[in-house]
Amino acid sequence: MFISEKLVYLELQKTGSKQIRHLLSQCVPGEQKGKHVRLTEHPSNRLIVGSIRNPWAWYVSLWAFGCMGRGHLRRRLVERSSSWMESFINLVVPAAQEGSIAQHSLLKSMRPKRISHDLWAETYTDPTDTAAFKKWLCLMHDPERAGELSPGYGQSALHHGVGFFTYRYLRLYARDLSPLSTDHGLQDWQQVRDFDTQQNILDYVIRMESLEQDLVRALELAGYDISVAQRDELFSSSGAKRNRTGHYPISSYYDAETIAWVRSRERLIIEKYGYSYDDL
């Protein structure tokens, strides 16, 4: 997270967080504490800011990033040597942070989840291979494989009907994680929506699709005076929107079936932020 005197930015993976962090550091004094980590305390004197992205574009970006041999998720799914340590970190660190419920989940989950490394590796091929993307997306939306993506996701009742991005979103931006940590927690869409309404800690959200404009607005809401020169610098730094993974246009990867998968499982993000596949 990036922390300044008046603002805290929480970094959700693949939502322009690297670019936002860089631009923030150019505009205001601050410090970086970890990357995709949660707030342990909730300061009342700072604006808490997050970021979000159209889920259909988000999935293509995450997969294409993995096709380049990069990313925590790709390493977990493909590289056998790292799987035990990744599982240990993913279980022990949340347990230490979240208290007795997570510790109980830890004890139940010490048996390592077997990851089908070869199956996942077959999907991380060429970022222009649309068939490989569909196979990958099918695996991503298979509830039986949720524990392969993340032990916490596999333990949570969310994995039955809620997508991986919504799980990450809730886990990073919610005040109380206990309903996410058990297999008898949030059971249906209404409960998920109510949980987000009650527990979301964000004061403002930067959309990747309007990154520079929203970042300026976040700084202004936090109480910073942004000069004309700073605005010009921000709007000339639109590198986050460049396609650095070499994938095709987003629409090339989807058909009616896969569009529906994302719409159903990432419903919270899509409806809350007004996203549409037609906007791509």
Encode pLDDT of 178-210 as tens digits: 888 877 778 788 999 999 999 999 999 999 999
Average pLDDT over residues 213-222: 96
Q: Is pLDDT of 99 > 50?
A: no
In order of 140, 250, 265, the CA distances from 123 in angstroms are 11, 17, 21
pLDDT digits (tens, 9 = 90+) for 175-185: 999 888 877 77
User: With contact defined as beta carbons under 8 Å apart, do 23 and 208 qualify?
Assistant: no
pLDDT, average across residues 26-45: 88
Neighbours of 276 (CB within 10 A): 10
Whether the pLDDT of residue 276 is over 60: the answer is: yes
Average pLDDT over residues 144-158: 93
SS3 47: strand
Question: What is the 8-class DSSP label of residue 247?
Answer: P
- pTM of the full structure: 0.86
More confidently predicted of 32 and 99:
32
Check whether 215 has a pLDDT greater than 90.
Answer: yes
Maximum average pLDDT range among 34-48, 83-97, 197-211, 243-257: 197-211
Lowest mean pLDDT among 28-42, 83-97, 223-237: 83-97
Q: Where are the domains of the chain?
A: 68-193+248-267
234, pLDDT greater than 60: yes
Q: How far is CA 95 from CA 39, 105, 152, 171, 181, in A?
A: 15, 8, 10, 13, 10
For residues 272 and 280, give the distance between their C-alpha atoms in angstroms, rounded to a whole number.
17
- Percentage, residues of the chain above pLDDT 70: 85
Q: Is 58 helix (H, G, I), strand (E, B) or coil?
A: helix
Mean pLDDT of the chain: 87
pLDDT at 127 over 50: yes
Residue whose tokens read 């070499």: 246
pLDDT per residue as tens digits for the range 103-116: 444 444 444 468 99
**pLDDT class of 102 with cuts at 50, 70, 90:** very low
Among 217, 213, 205, 273, smallest CA distance to 238 is for: 213
Quickly count: other Cβ atoms within 10 Å of residue 264's Cβ.
14
For range 85-102, the mean pLDDT: 50
| DSSP reduced 3-state for 241 | helix
- Strand ranges (E), the chain: 2-4, 7-9, 30-32, 47-52, 204-207
